[in-house]
Amino acid sequence: MGGQVKETEKMEVLRALVLQKLQGGVWHTTNMNRFQGILRSSAILPEPEIPDSERWRGYPYVRTLGGVSLFDFRKFNREQYWEDFPMSTWAEFVPYRRAWKEAVWIEIDVDKLGEAFLSGVDLLARWNAAKVGSRIMPEIEAAHVGPLPSTAFKTVFTVREGSDTLYPVRAE
């Protein structure tokens, strides 16, 4: 029991560290193997060649649009968000998905995306208007419709299980 509590505390410390880095930006998260595929294709693809068993469960709304899911942390307030949306699954991804034991976080320069970018607020409004049953993380799930070019990457870092350090990654 004591080991599990200590592990949970370590995860919360790491989550806070990663959130501090993510705050104020728009990000995509993936694992290192998928990141290598992103580099090879010079874009984050809406339908990368990965088995459905490796995708996030359910069929996210962004996929129905032919888009790439992003996290819009530009105005994120953790405590308020938990209060407003207690069923949101954002913490499954921050600091990393436990199934992956790591995350590569890619900051996106939204000024380079034009009309293909849908902010978290805009995506939620579109989802509400569509009245679909697809999954969405309210207000913080954003989208880029179509392939998202690597020329829009600003910063890339990785975080791994058992580490309390964020490692920069070269996106070349």
For tokens 């996290």, what's the residue? 71
Alpha helices in 2-158, H assignment, sequence order: 2-22, 32-41, 61-64, 78-84, 120-130
pLDDT for 5 equals 53
pTM above 0.85, yes or no: yes
Can you list the residues of the chain whose pLDDT is less than 70?
Answer: 1-7, 51-59, 172
Residue ranges per structural domain of the chain:
2-168
- How many other CB atoms are found less than 10 A from the CB of residue 155? 15
Regarding the domain delimited by 2-168, which CATH topology (the fold level of the hierarchy) does it fall under? ADP-ribosylation fold (3.20.170)
From CA 21, how far away is CA 19, in angstroms rounded?
5
Q: Provide DSSP, 51-96.
A: -GGGSPSS-BHHHHTTEEEEEE-TT--HHHHHHH-TT--GGGTSS-
